[in-house]
């Protein structure tokens, strides 16, 4: 379901960075480490669900919805964005729909659905 939210960039980076350091399971382990993060927006908040934990951050200008994204790609993109985007008072606008996630209107993330 499509969503829209404005969130603090550093809070979002902190929330999505809670990922295991291993990109694959150790030899002999059953199962696998999930590589996706769910972004779930509801009125006034965004729930960031990583494979390790859930974090709730404050969001404004919200339209409720959810999307699933590649965790490692999202982390790399947000960290790169934080280095080049000093404007916008540290806030970023997220637009999500099935099959895409846009940050500040630029499609930057591949969706794993």
Residue 61 lies in a domain: yes
CA distance 71 to 34: 9
Residue 70 lies in a domain: yes
Residue 25 lies in a domain: no
Q: What is the CATH number of the domain that holds 9?
A: 3.10.150.10
CA distance 51 to 37: 7
pTM over 0.85: no
Residue 46 lies in a domain: yes
Domain hosting 55: range is 3-20+34-109
The domain total for the chain is 1
Residue 26 lies in a domain: no
Work out the number of other CB atoms within 10 angstroms of the CB of residue 59: 23
Residue 28 lies in a domain: no
Q: Residue 47: what pLDDT?
A: 93
Of the two residues 58 and 99, the one the predictor is more confident about is: 58
Residue 95 lies in a domain: yes
């Amino acid at each position: 379901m499509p969503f829209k939210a404005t969130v603090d960039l550093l809070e979002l980076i902190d929330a999505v960075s809670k990922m295991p350091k291993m990109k694959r399971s150790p030899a002999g382990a059953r199962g696998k480490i999930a590589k996706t993060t769910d972004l779930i927006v509801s009125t006034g908040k965004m729930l960031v669900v990583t494979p390790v934990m859930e974090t709730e951050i404050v969001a404004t200008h919200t339209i409720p919805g959810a999307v699933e994204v590649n965790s490692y790609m999202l982390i790399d993109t947000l960290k790169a964005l934080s280095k080049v985007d000093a404007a916008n008072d540290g806030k970023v606008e997220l637009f999500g729909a099935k099959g895409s996630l846009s940050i500040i209107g630029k499609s930057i993330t591949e969706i794993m659905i």
